Amino acid sequence: MPELPDLAAYLDSLERRVAGRRLVALRIASPFLLRTAVPPISSVEGRQVTGLRRLGKRIVFVFEGGLFLVLHLMIAGRLQWPAKKGRNTLAIFEFEDGTLSLTEAGTKRRASLHLVQGEAALKAMDPGGLEVMSASEEQFAERLLSENHTLKRALTDPRLFAGIGNAYSDEILHRAKLSPIALTRDLAPRQVTALHQATVTVLKEWIARLKTDGFPEKVTAFRPEMAVHGRYRQPCPVCGSPVQRIVYAENETNYCARCQTGGKILAARALSRLLKKSWPRNIDELE
């Protein structure tokens, strides 16, 4: 799922291409995409884009007349400029100076498009997560400690923090040298400070890294420059130990045992039950 740095790259590129332009036509190819009926989607055609915003992990096109077109790419949704047409194309946005397409890989149609009228209706779609890039350390700490969850869950909860998902939470926790399963209310003040600094630094670095003069083409959660995410069994760039993972349902958490958990290998439920006493407890047992 595109996260804050990826969405920032999309927004920067879209701002330069569609802000101030009119949406001539909007063609929707998938009946599963549009999730609202009022106002009718045709009412946005012919209107000028007055700006773009990010609402959590959603991209918002702001139109004159107080209309907001809200796009959630979910896991496999992607944008292309100029538009690409194919079996995975869900919608074509025809602007005055070019066309934008929305595609979604796979057979599951999870991407969504909403058209809402007015700021109040837009605000109702906001999960409420804190915007870390503009928040103080005190605001970050207050939100982090408001509920008692594992750090992984807290960072990826859209009600707590905006725009952070599976990939960048792994990178943030590695930078902060914190275990993904540590509980928020067990953190010492210095650890909260370290987590805040790591969150801001990692996101800033990746926003700068992904910025492009063209249009983002390879939007992915797996990048070779990442420290741990998607790098299971590959060496940690800090200590050289093999990156570990916890797999649960469709999600995978990657971490470095030596840097983040004091050498302890965290139990992956199914595999640790299978191996029982043979399950390695420490990174040194693997080396």
Which tens digits make up the pLDDT trace of 180-228? 999 999 999 999 999 999 999 999 999 999 999 999 999 999 999 999 9
Structure tokens at 239: 């200590």
| 100 and 155 co-located in one domain | no
C-alpha span between 252 and 268 (Å, rounded): 10
Domain final residue, candidates 106, 123, 140: 123
Whether the CB-CB separation of 98 and 55 falls below 8 Å is answered with: no
User: What's the chain's length in residues?
Assistant: 287
Statement: residue 276 has pLDDT above 50: no
Rg (CA), the chain: 21
C-alpha span between 213 and 202 (Å, rounded): 21
Under the banding of pLDDT at 50, 70 and 90, the label for residue 251 is: confident
Q: Residue range 228-257: average pLDDT? A: 94
| 244 and 275 co-located in one domain | yes
Q: Residue range 10-25: average pLDDT? A: 98
| 105 and 152 co-located in one domain | no
Under the banding of pLDDT at 50, 70 and 90, the label for residue 282 is: low
C-alpha span between 202 and 215 (Å, rounded): 22
236, amino acid identity: C
Tokens 């800090």, residue?
238
Question: By residue range, what is the domain housing residue 20?
Answer: 4-123
C-alpha span between 110 and 179 (Å, rounded): 31
Whether the CB-CB separation of 1 and 221 falls below 8 Å is answered with: yes
| 158 and 262 co-located in one domain | yes
Q: Residue range 150-157: average pLDDT? A: 97
C-alpha span between 122 and 105 (Å, rounded): 27
C-alpha span between 249 and 11 (Å, rounded): 31
Domain final residue, candidates 101, 123, 145: 123
Q: Residue range 110-122: average pLDDT? A: 98
- Count the Cβ atoms, other than its own, within 10 Å of residue 69: 22
Tokens 């995409």, residue?
33
C-alpha span between 262 and 61 (Å, rounded): 46
Number of separate domains in the chain: 2
C-alpha span between 7 and 74 (Å, rounded): 12
- Count the Cβ atoms, other than its own, within 10 Å of residue 1: 18
Q: Residue range 261-276: average pLDDT? A: 66
Tokens 């469709």, residue?
250
C-alpha span between 154 and 278 (Å, rounded): 31
Domain final residue, candidates 123, 149, 165: 123
Structure tokens at 56: 């959590």
| 140 and 77 co-located in one domain | no
State the CATH number of the domain containing residue 34. 3.20.190.10
Q: What percent of the chain has pLDDT over 70?
A: 93
- Rounded to 5°, the CA angle 192-157-111 comes to 145
Q: DSSP for 60-94?
A: EEEETTTEEEEEE-TTTEEEESS---STTEEEEEE
**What average pLDDT is seen over the chain?**
93
Torsion of CA 247, 253, 256, 261, to 10 degrees: -90
Statement: residue 121 has pLDDT above 90: yes
C-alpha span between 229 and 218 (Å, rounded): 17
